[in-house]
Homo-oligomer: A and B are copies of this chain.
């Protein structure tokens, strides 16, 4: 039994998904508590393609908290890791004090060892910290028996991590309380609400590591007057419109708003001083291709969004995936022998000649390294191996 002996190792393994925002989070009103200057909304991706897996072990034998990321030990004293550990332990103590726990429960004083791995390259520039912190918080809570608003704890690890606590379509309400208790994630709709939605991740090789999002946000908040305006006057209405578009499964509205919000986020980065650029010429070609494709189709069939890097995330509906992937292969032919399309299989189709002509771009070999084909995730956090004692 857990806690029975002074030499047992109790452990649990959980997984958590990546989420991709369609209304972007950029800028904090409180750096320590990670409280945002605006609400945001994201789509949780399926864990079959992208996930973080975290094992947390606890033992009276452990002398200190330690963490390994993708096999390499990292500094456990990072403030954000410490915030998560502290908050989880606080919830555990609260439960103990409330007497709402068996006497055999693990103590909040026990040290933990954390191992976290991603099934996707960190270099892909995907928001690995969101999945990672969501997973860590969930695993710690399962292991130590913490209860409460876990998205509030995950938020203190990495803001967008709170949105990885739920599946489907998730909003992070900015909240108004100074202590952040109302700055939490909520599911807008589950994945089953809109099963036709598909996601393509276009991995574009960046020439160098861009400005990190923590530093970038801080500079943006300090220098961009457009960001302030966006947060106060643009996003509140967009959140309402986005929730409505999702509820009504109105892809045109969903896609246009997604693209506009991605562009506005990058606009505020450019309005930052010194300016921050995350999009490169390949990103711009993808943007251009999407608009020309939609124009040719006479409707918004495909939408792009870009986070703090040059990789594109494409949202579209199931029936349009084969043609659009074919188009990507045509205009960004692969230069390597590696697998160009990973994830969910996509059937081949023949491109109509008038379509490639309408796009009218020069193909750019190697512009896109590879594509990950995935969909909306139905569950957020999963216990891969339940709590066990070694």
Q: Residues of A at under 8 Å CB distance from B?
A: 225-226, 229-230, 233-234, 256, 259-260, 263-264, 266-268, 270-275, 277, 280-281, 284, 287, 291
Main secondary structure of the interface of A (DSSP, over half): helix
Q: How far is the CA of A259 from the CA of B225 in the complex (A)?
A: 14
Contact of A284 among B229, B267, B277 (CB under 8 A): B277
Chain B, Cβ-Cβ closest to A272:
B263
Residues of B within 8 A of A229 (CB): 225-226, 229, 233
Interface pairs (24), CB distance under 8 Å: A225-B230, A225-B233, A225-B234, A226-B226, A226-B264, A226-B267, A226-B268, A226-B271, A229-B233, A259-B273, A259-B274, A260-B271, A263-B270, A263-B275, A264-B270, A264-B271, A266-B270, A267-B271, A270-B270, A274-B287, A274-B291, A277-B284, A280-B284, A281-B281
A270 to chain B, nearest CB (A): 4
CB distance B275 to A287 under 8 Å?
A: yes
CB distance A263 to B271 under 8 Å?
A: yes
Residues of B within 8 A of A234 (CB): 225-226
Q: How far is the CA of A268 from the CA of B273 in the complex (A)?
A: 15
A291 to chain B, nearest CB (A): 4
Residues of B within 8 A of A266 (CB): 270
Residues of B within 8 A of A233 (CB): 225, 229
Q: How far is the CA of A388 from the CA of B270 in the complex (A)?
A: 52
A65 to chain B, nearest CB (A): 37
Chain B, Cβ-Cβ closest to A287:
B275
CB distance A270 to B267 under 8 Å?
A: yes
Q: How far is the CA of A175 from the CA of B324 in the complex (A)?
A: 49
Q: How far is the CA of A273 from the CA of B271 in the complex (A)?
A: 17
Residues of B within 8 A of A268 (CB): 226, 267
A282 to chain B, nearest CB (A): 9
Residues of B within 8 A of A270 (CB): 263-264, 266-267, 270
